[in-house]
Amino acid sequence: MTLRQNAGSGPGKGLIWLLLCLVALLSVLPSLRLLLSALLDWRQGSDSSLWRVLSNPATWAALWHSVYTSGLGTLLSLLLGGLFAFCLALTDIRIKQLWVFLFMLPMMIPPQVTALSWLQLFGPGSILLNSLGLAPGFGSANPLYSAEGIALLLGIQHAPLVFLALRTQLQSLPKEHIEAARLHGASLWRVFFDMVLPLCRTALWAGAAIAFVSALGNFGIPAMLGIPISYFVLPVHIYQTLSSFGPSMLNDVAALSVLMGGVAIGIVTLQGHMQRRYALPLIGMAGRALGFTLGKWRLATEALLAGVLCAILLAPLLALIVTSLVPTLGVPLNSDTITFAAWRGIFDVQSATWRALTNSLFLSVSAAVMLMLLSLPLAWLLVRYPNRALRWLHSLIDIPYTLPGVVLAIACILLFTRPLPLLDISLSGTLTIILFAYLARFLTVCLKPVHSSMLQLDPAMEEAASLAGANFSQRLLHIVLPLLAPAAFAGALLVFLTAVNELTVSALLWSAGKETLGVVIFNLDESGNKVLASAISVLVVALIAIVMLLLSALGRYFPKGVIPWQN
């Protein structure tokens, strides 16, 4: 609904153009620069960068590896996410909010931490298995160093995405129709296969597409599990190409990034087509759980969910904690070998770890605050002044988040290779270029809850204030901002959660002294210092869990749907 205002009481054209320019700078300019670099020499035919990339067998091998691991991971995500979504949305199991919170935690944990925790759980060097006397023989290969190992962790990492897509659909199922089928004698399994699954096929398509695209762009897991066995997926192939030297290196990585971005956008487009083709309108009331009574099977179902959570969350985390408390790998943990040397090293103000911690906190907090300040007036403008141009701009905001992180990083490198015009300042190798990439990538994360909350605001209050003589800034300051503040704060916390554990973008943009926590964990693992890497990983998991608990505690002050793991 648009707002009728007195003449001259609306926002100034300067503010509108400033917001539009900022959004265009963050969302459109990097992608255009990437496309320009990839296609700049297309007239050279077989000597062009795009042709060199497409004719290189390593490109197609990396693409096949990406599709294979992402496909297998998506199947596992559908299995795990579907299991939890159906059990938590359709049955009468207890403490549902706790189950949801614990199942969402792996998605918030950095992928490199996920990979490291599972590596510490299996293999002959596992401190936990050695302490229990269950470690495999010396020299045994770690089963996670394989394509299937990569797919396993990708599936676990992105299963919560499938869960979120399915749960939203399940909460809108026509409860009355399903209850009628039950009253007519249909068994639980008959209702599930004949009614629930067909009605949820659009959500299954959506969850599968999101999980596949997320797995396709994941860098941390394929890098830590694939590089030791020379199994390269597209993000790792781009990372290694960028590390090489040559006059055409930047154009080559741009062409690879365009190829990867094209695959991701193609999957999202296919998912949208399948959703429109098989869409079924639902008339249920959101949030009304069906509550199928499990009876004697309820305890068994709860035990199954607990077993799955122990396998995918508790056991790897316990392996990380145990590894962080020994002097070196291969030493079993007992009262004689326990040490906190790695933990003391984290808080040594002269260490790279402390520097990375401060860098990550600075970048994530700065991105959260800046995006919160940008999202408030932008959401107001999108809702109160709807037009075709703003709708197009709103859709463009999703592009940096839809594209794999490595593609956005390459775009930022190309955009800031030369010093800024007029200012003659170079951003390459600084924290500013990482901050810019975070702002571009996470703008949509912060904007969505604010925009959803803005849609629920009745414009009558603003209209009454306008008729009483309040100008635009007074209405925005005294009416809109206080009402949108909870959603904006929740959006900022979600940005902080996502940015503080980010690796894919910063892995290509960092330089000496500008490391982030994700980069330090990755580098420590590559250099063999897995004890310190484990200690940092435990610290990151604890930080993320604390922020998630804070969000949950403040959930009653936020609009519904803002916090993913709450109804």
Residue 223 lies in a domain: yes
Rounded average pLDDT over 420-448: 84
Q: Domain boundary at 272, 306, 323, which? A: 323
Do 301 and 369 have their domain in common? no
Do 224 and 373 have their domain in common? no
User: Under a CB-based contact definition with an 8 Å cutoff, are residues 365 and 496 in contact?
Assistant: yes
Better pLDDT: 153 or 280? 153
> What are 199-240's pLDDT values in tens digits?
777 878 888 888 898 888 888 899 889 988 889 998 888 888
Give the percent of the chain with pLDDT over 70. 86
Q: 267: domain range?
A: 56-323
In this predicted structure, what is the pLDDT of residue 459? 77
The span from the CA of 183 to the CA of 194, in Å, is: 15
User: Under a CB-based contact definition with an 8 Å cutoff, are residues 134 and 122 in contact?
Assistant: no
Residues 6+ apart with CB under 8 A from 157: 73, 106, 107, 109, 111, 114, 214, 215, 218, 221
> What are 452-474's pLDDT values in tens digits?
778 777 777 777 877 877 777 77
Do 164 and 83 have their domain in common? yes
In this predicted structure, what is the pLDDT of residue 240? 84
Helix (H, G, I), strand (E, B) or coil at 292: strand
The span from the CA of 23 to the CA of 29, in Å, is: 9
Phi-psi group of 246: left, alpha or beta (phi > 0 → left; psi -120 to 50 → alpha; rest → beta): left
Q: Which of 107-111, 180-184, 557-561 has the highest mean pLDDT?
A: 107-111
The span from the CA of 438 to the CA of 30, in Å, is: 12
DSSP state of 43: G
Report the chain's terminal Cα–Cα distance, integer Å: 26
Q: If pLDDT is split at 50, 70 and 90, which confidence band does 139 have?
A: low
Do 271 and 132 have their domain in common? yes
In this predicted structure, what is the pLDDT of residue 2? 47
User: Under a CB-based contact definition with an 8 Å cutoff, are residues 521 and 533 in contact?
Assistant: yes
Do 221 and 360 have their domain in common? no
Do 468 and 522 have their domain in common? yes
User: Under a CB-based contact definition with an 8 Å cutoff, are residues 99 and 310 in contact?
Assistant: no
CATH classification at residue 395: 1.10.3720.10
Apex CA 165: angle with CA 161 and CA 170, to 5°?
Answer: 140
13-35 burial by CB neighbour count: b if 16+ within 10 A, else e?
eeeeeebeeebeebbbebbebbb
Axis-axis angle for helices 352-384, 13-27 (nearest 10): 130
> What are 301-311's pLDDT values in tens digits?
889 989 998 88
Better pLDDT: 507 or 41? 507
Residue 41 lies in a domain: no
In this predicted structure, what is the pLDDT of residue 296? 81
Residue 455 lies in a domain: yes
- Phi (first) and psi of residue 292, to 5 degrees: -60, 130
By residue count, the chain amounts to 567
In this predicted structure, what is the pLDDT of residue 133? 66
Mean pLDDT in the chain? 80
Phi-psi group of 291: left, alpha or beta (phi > 0 → left; psi -120 to 50 → alpha; rest → beta): left
Better pLDDT: 509 or 124? 509
For the chain, what is the largest distance between any 2 Cα atoms, rounded to a whole number of angstroms? 80
Do 309 and 372 have their domain in common? no
In this predicted structure, what is the pLDDT of residue 424? 72
In this predicted structure, what is the pLDDT of residue 514? 84
Residue whose C-alpha is closest to residue 564's, from 504, 483, 502, 493:
493
The span from the CA of 61 to the CA of 516, in Å, is: 30
Residue 124 lies in a domain: yes
The span from the CA of 366 to the CA of 542, in Å, is: 21
Do 358 and 299 have their domain in common? no
Least confident of 127-136, 290-299, 442-451: 127-136
Least confident of 221-225, 243-247, 297-301, 342-346: 243-247
pLDDT at 90 over 70: yes
User: Under a CB-based contact definition with an 8 Å cutoff, are residues 286 and 170 in contact?
Assistant: no
In this predicted structure, what is the pLDDT of residue 490? 81
Handedness of CA 156, 258, 244, 536 (dihedral sign): negative
- Given the structure tokens 């990151």, which residue do they identify? 540
Give bridge partners of residue 292 from the DSSP assignment: 91
Do 382 and 305 have their domain in common? no
In this predicted structure, what is the pLDDT of residue 106? 83
In this predicted structure, what is the pLDDT of residue 286? 47
Residue 32 lies in a domain: no
Residue 380 lies in a domain: yes
In this predicted structure, what is the pLDDT of residue 430? 85
Do 524 and 421 have their domain in common? yes
Domain count, the chain: 2
Do 62 and 137 have their domain in common? yes
Q: If pLDDT is split at 50, 70 and 90, which confidence band does 281 have?
A: low
Rounded average pLDDT over 487-507: 82
Residues 6+ apart with CB under 8 A from 479: 461, 462, 465
Do 364 and 412 have their domain in common? yes
The span from the CA of 435 to the CA of 169, in Å, is: 35
Residue whose C-alpha is closest to residue 218's, from 272, 172, 151, 274:
151
Residue 287 lies in a domain: yes
Residue 12 lies in a domain: no
